[in-house]
């Protein structure tokens, strides 16, 4: 499959956006009292609220990274196809 430069840039943008947004969300979830059994940040056992969001964040980062890598590879492939 051959992607256009526009779609390649879109995929790279998705990868960058993912790495800008999700780590900030991870910090917010970590600091949320609902993440901890005691209600105090980083004190006590982690709740299912934290674990579910951690899984969501990890999956989103993996998908975003994959999209970004595919975008970079597609961009490089379009450069190789064009005559100099």
pLDDT tens for 3-44 read 999 999 999 999 999 999 999 999 999 999 999 999 999 899
The average confidence (pLDDT) of the chain is 94
* pTM > 0.95: no
Average pLDDT estimate for 48-72? 98
- For the chain, the straight-line distance linking the first and the last C-alpha, in angstroms and rounded, comes to 22
CA distances from 24 to 37, 69, 84 (A): 22, 21, 42
% of the chain beyond a pLDDT of 90 = 87
Are the beta carbons of 43 and 49 closer than 8 angstroms? no
pLDDT at 67: 98
Q: Cβ neighbours of residue 8 under 8 Å, at least 6 residues apart?
A: 71, 72, 74, 75, 78
């Amino acid at each position: 499959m051959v992607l256009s430069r526009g779609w390649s840039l879109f995929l790279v943008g998705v990868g960058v956006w993912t790495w800008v947004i999700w780590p900030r969300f991870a910090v917010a979830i970590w600091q949320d009292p609902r993440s901890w059994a005691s209600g105090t940040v980083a004190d006590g056992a982690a709740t299912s609220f934290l674990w579910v969001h951690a899984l969501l964040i990890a999956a989103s980062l993996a998908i975003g990274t994959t999209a970004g890598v595919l975008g970079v590879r597609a961009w490089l492939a379009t450069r190789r196809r064009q005559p100099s």
